[in-house]
Chains A and B, each alone.
Chain A
Amino acid sequence: MSSLLKNSELTLEKADKIVSETLNNCDDGELYVEDTKSETIVLDDNKIKSSNYTSDLGYGFRAVTGDTVAYSHSNDITEKSLKNSSENLKSTLKNNSGSYNSEIKKTNQKLYKDIDPIESKSMKSKIELLNNMNEYARSKDKSVKQVTASLLAEKKNVEIIRSGGELLSDNRPLVRINMSVMVEKNGRKETGVFGIGGRQDYDEYLKNDNWKKVCDEAFRIANTNIESKPSPAGEMKVVLGPGWPAILIHEAVGHGLEGDFNRKKTSAFHDLVGKKVASKGVTIIDDGTLDNRRGSLNIDDEGTPTERTVLIEDGILKNFMQDRLNARLMNTKSTGNGRRESYKHVVMPRMRNTIMLGGTNTQEEMIKSVDKGIFAVSFGGGQVDITSGKFVFNCTEAYEIIDGKVGAPIKGATLIGDGPSSLKEILMVGNDMMLDPGIGTCGKAGQGVPVGVGQPSLLINNMTVGGTQL
């Protein structure tokens, strides 16, 4: 029973017929139908600046043969529109012929509840919450000059109709609570940003006045940065804090281990399976099966159940992250990493929750071992060039380390490194593994998808720090 086609002129039976007939001569493909409702409420400059509600319904029809993908999407859920799409797919693939692989794993995985986080809290109480966050953050200190707070909730229901009539579905809730505080002191301005979220109702994240902790943390970061001094420039040792700094793992190695770049041999890792790519003691997984996490999914956007995929085990490269297309072309199985931003986007291998597992060292001994270096506690955005392996990060909270002790905060430091070599530069892996607070969005080829990261504290031997102090 399809619930998304329930009220449309295009019945499941008609859709099935067009899908099966179109994909008959193809290696793979599916009709992906998506119904997404989302709500964003923003408080800015002491006012509720906007409340937006979006309702988006559409389909994406995909046919794959060999390594050629034909894709057509539309908001018009009718038999006529789907037939047009079908003609379009057939014309792209007219010179190819394949045989449909109808094999797909089944699951009863329930990693999150089928809830609607938008409706679970009234508009009135959401506005009240934002006002409370604003007042509380401003009351922390008179140096707080600007506050932006926002609430985002989404309910995304997807259905995947494969050739032969198989129907797979998933209902995915997602919320995020964000806070940004600007502090001004002695003519200097700095901001602090913090947020929390995941695949549960707002109230799960608001228990025990948790929203105050979000405000406290944003204020603490801004207030730390107002005392910061210019960052040093040059190569030095770097201690990374646990949790969110794992976006370094996500950029430095995660993207390079996605199946498409390796099938196309454009990743710096493509010929390194079975080889040592990281220091001993380094194990990195990509796990889509953690309860209620932002990067978790019951099934991916091709219908494959997600799993816990070991990427690097004790320093040795084990697996890439695969969708069905790249897995087939590389003679392996999908790891449930086939994802897309929406029905308007083609599937590609994407990360879920990418985590470096804990080791045995303490953060204290890492810092103690450094004569001159930096201690990076939180990052803003990062970016990687998959082919050359170079990646960068912008520290949003970092300190200098001098003679084994944490010193003054430093501002605006950029870290740059080389993915494959920086993993071999890891000297110590901490015993304090932590997951991020649930705020990550990963961008690839113009598509954003929610992801998670996690790691323990790490000591990296040598990274280039970009600052203004020579």
Chain B
Amino acid sequence: MIKDQDYLKKIADICLSRSKKQGSTDASIMVQSSISENVNVRNKKLDGSERSENLGVVLTTYLGKRKSSIASSNLKENNLNELVDRCIETMKITPEDEYNSLPDKDLHFSGLKDLELFDETHLSNEDKINYIKEAEDEAFSNNKIVNTNGSGFGENKSNFLLANSNGFVDGYKTSQFTAYCEVVSKSNGSMERDYEYTSKRFYSDILKPKELGSIAADHAVKKLNPKKIKSEKISLIFDKRISKNFLSIFANAISSSAIAKGTTFLKDKLNQKVFNSEINILDHGDIKKANGSRYFDSEGIGIINLDLIKNGILQDYLIDTYNGKKINRKSNGRASGTTNLYFENGSKTFNELIKSENKLLYIKETIGHGTNIINGDYSVGASGIMIENGEFSYPVSEITIAGNLNNIFQNITLADDLEFNYSTNSPTMHVEGMIVGGK
């Protein structure tokens, strides 16, 4: 069983009172308890099981504008006391930083907790194994699937408590059910792998095993016997599992820490047109049962919904207390990053999008870490499928795609097929005129 709020509170009290006794002026603490149980199968046979029981505490102490932190998984009282003392000692010799402080009391979360983020359902290992075996069975019913890289099912339950010396004490339980199926296809000497993945807070919301297996198989088979194409300038269609990455890049580029340091290509772009006027980007933390929903951030600040891009114009940054002070803004509850971040649907259907040009390259996978948020340069390895006259024609691999995000953002057209499968979600995306590196 995960620990209850009373247990977490007891640990928090030990640390907070010791901090105060040792001379800190302020302190904040997060105590967490989680249990996760995972099973893996491979080629329809049990490959392994894993049970993780985690306990942890993170404490930050303040002496005026001085600050230091400790973290530990050893929650015995004498160990905690030793660590608090160490934290205080370090804090005393750490230089002052005028921006250090606890968050603004007025912004503390207080309200109802009715987002339905915890599902009590518990699956036995047997049930988990059955689910994932059924998915693999379905994948293997495709005769080009010859092997699996392993498929798994995981159930995670956690509880946490956040408290600070300004009187904030709150916490709540969350759950996550996750399944993935990764299969290997083979034909004419070509071997490819691909996967499908599902992760939801409620067990009843995850993909059915047969769907999971058949989608994974379909992805892997469609990649077989790829061709390498010539280097050229061509418009790209990004599959939903890739297009959402542009939202994550965007979120990094408007984090108040990057803005305050000037290490982002979107610095000084507030109230300017960053995307074309068709584009709206929202970050809404109050969607029931959604993966990214939360009541408050890691500082205890209540989540408000943000419309980050309206008609292409940048409306806001993602702000926490520390970096907010640097740029003279109040926190908007984004110390733990975005919540449910998504593009609003575009006006074209998927079919209209892939028929919009005679020749398009559909990108299903990118690899590498080729995003530079300082100057907006983007260059990654990729594979996908060529679309000719609106029809998927042949798979393409070992290519690179490159451009600058300032241009890419202006040249996005979105389909109307948004789904809330992850915490960051995008419809299918068309980007005009990118450079593909190939033969």
Cβ of B436 within 8 Å of any chain A Cβ, yes or no, is: yes
Q: Given A52-B71, A75-B73, A231-B379, A466 and B437 touching (CB < 8 A)?
A: yes
- Chain B residues within an 8 Å CB radius of A58: 73
Interface residues of B in 45-73 (CB under 8 A from A): 45-56, 67-73
Cβ of A170 within 8 Å of any chain B Cβ, yes or no, is: no
7 other contacts beyond A49-B97, A56-B74, with CB at 8 A cut-off? Answer: A81-B53, A191-B372, A231-B379, A386-B193, A394-B370, A413-B379, A414-B402
CB distance from B80 to the nearest CB of A (A): 10
Question: A49-71 vs B: 1/0 string, CB under 8 Å?
Answer: 11111111110000000011111
- Chain A residues within an 8 Å CB radius of B193: 266, 385-388
Question: B216-228 vs A: 1/0 string, CB under 8 Å?
Answer: 0000000100001
A53 and B83 form a contact (CB under 8 A): yes
B184 and A266 form a contact (CB under 8 A): yes
The 8 A-B pairs of least Cβ separation, nearest first, read A466-B400, A392-B381, A233-B437, A392-B368, A381-B369, A466-B437, A69-B48, A387-B193
Cβ of B377 within 8 Å of any chain A Cβ, yes or no, is: yes
Rounded to whole angstroms, the CA-CA distance of A227 and B8 in the bound complex is: 54
Selected interface stretch from B132-140, B203-211, B256-264, B345-353: B256-264
A412 and B50 form a contact (CB under 8 A): no
CB distance from B299 to the nearest CB of A (A): 15
Cβ of A311 within 8 Å of any chain B Cβ, yes or no, is: no
Q: Which of A44, A91, A390 has the most CB of B within 10 A?
A: A390
Instruction: Report B's interface with A, CB cutoff 8 A.
Output: 42, 45-56, 67-75, 79, 83, 86-87, 89-90, 93-95, 97, 99, 125, 147, 149-150, 184, 191-193, 223, 228, 231-233, 260-263, 265, 326, 367-370, 372, 374-375, 377-381, 383, 397-404, 435-439
Selected interface stretch from A158-166, A182-190, A400-408, A423-431: A182-190
Cβ of A277 within 8 Å of any chain B Cβ, yes or no, is: no
- Chain B residues within an 8 Å CB radius of A468: 379, 402-404, 435
- Chain A residues within an 8 Å CB radius of B378: 412
A91 and B125 form a contact (CB under 8 A): yes
Rounded to whole angstroms, the CA-CA distance of A233 and B400 in the bound complex is: 8
CB distance from B216 to the nearest CB of A (A): 13
- Chain A residues within an 8 Å CB radius of B439: 234-235, 464
Interface residues of A in 453-470 (CB under 8 A from B): 464-470
- Chain A residues within an 8 Å CB radius of B231: 233-234, 470
CB distance from B52 to the nearest CB of A (A): 6
Q: Which of B79, B380, B402, B435 has the most CB of A within 10 A?
A: B402
Q: Given A57-B73, A383-B368, A394-B379, A470 and B233 touching (CB < 8 A)?
A: yes
B51 and A76 form a contact (CB under 8 A): no
- Chain B residues within an 8 Å CB radius of A45: 260-261, 326
Rounded to whole angstroms, the CA-CA distance of A88 and B48 in the bound complex is: 12
Name which residue of chain A comes closest to B98, CB basis: A47
Cβ of A319 within 8 Å of any chain B Cβ, yes or no, is: no
Contact of A47 among B48, B52, B97, B262 (CB under 8 A): B97
Q: Given A394-B368, A466-B381, A68 and B48 touching (CB < 8 A)?
A: yes
Cβ of A346 within 8 Å of any chain B Cβ, yes or no, is: yes
Interface residues of A in 255-300 (CB under 8 A from B): 264-266, 268
Rounded to whole angstroms, the CA-CA distance of A416 and B50 in the bound complex is: 35
A346 and B50 form a contact (CB under 8 A): yes
Contact of A189 among B49, B52, B374 (CB under 8 A): B374
Name which residue of chain A comes closest to B368, CB basis: A392
A74 and B53 form a contact (CB under 8 A): yes
CB distance from A45 to the nearest CB of B (A): 5
Q: Given A68-B47, A467-B435, A73 and B149 touching (CB < 8 A)?
A: no
Rounded to whole angstroms, the CA-CA distance of A412 and B265 in the bound complex is: 15
B125 and A266 form a contact (CB under 8 A): no
Cβ of A448 within 8 Å of any chain B Cβ, yes or no, is: no
B436 and A233 form a contact (CB under 8 A): yes
Rounded to whole angstroms, the CA-CA distance of A388 and B48 in the bound complex is: 25
Rounded to whole angstroms, the CA-CA distance of A367 and B56 in the bound complex is: 54
Cβ of A106 within 8 Å of any chain B Cβ, yes or no, is: no
- Chain B residues within an 8 Å CB radius of A393: 368
Q: Given A91-B125, A381-B368, A53 and B263 touching (CB < 8 A)?
A: no
- Chain A residues within an 8 Å CB radius of B48: 68-71, 92, 346
Rounded to whole angstroms, the CA-CA distance of A13 and B50 in the bound complex is: 25
- Chain A residues within an 8 Å CB radius of B372: 191, 412
A265 and B147 form a contact (CB under 8 A): yes
- Chain B residues within an 8 Å CB radius of A466: 370, 379-381, 399-402, 437
Q: List 24 A-B contacts (CB under 8 A).
A: A45-B260, A45-B261, A48-B95, A51-B90, A53-B86, A54-B72, A56-B74, A57-B73, A70-B49, A88-B51, A92-B49, A233-B402, A264-B147, A266-B184, A383-B381, A387-B184, A390-B367, A412-B377, A412-B379, A466-B379, A467-B379, A468-B402, A468-B435, A470-B233
CB distance from A259 to the nearest CB of B (A): 15
CB distance from B181 to the nearest CB of A (A): 14
Rounded to whole angstroms, the CA-CA distance of A133 and B435 in the bound complex is: 39
Rounded to whole angstroms, the CA-CA distance of A49 and B68 in the bound complex is: 9
A53 and B374 form a contact (CB under 8 A): no
Contact of B367 among A57, A85, A385 (CB under 8 A): A385
Cβ of A123 within 8 Å of any chain B Cβ, yes or no, is: yes
Cβ of A450 within 8 Å of any chain B Cβ, yes or no, is: no
Q: Which of B79, B232, B369 has the most CB of A within 10 A?
A: B369
Cβ of A411 within 8 Å of any chain B Cβ, yes or no, is: yes
- Chain A residues within an 8 Å CB radius of B369: 380-381, 383, 394
- Chain B residues within an 8 Å CB radius of A85: 51
Name which residue of chain A comes closest to B87, CB basis: A53
Contact of A191 among B70, B94, B260, B374 (CB under 8 A): B374
B379 and A388 form a contact (CB under 8 A): no
A75 and B53 form a contact (CB under 8 A): yes
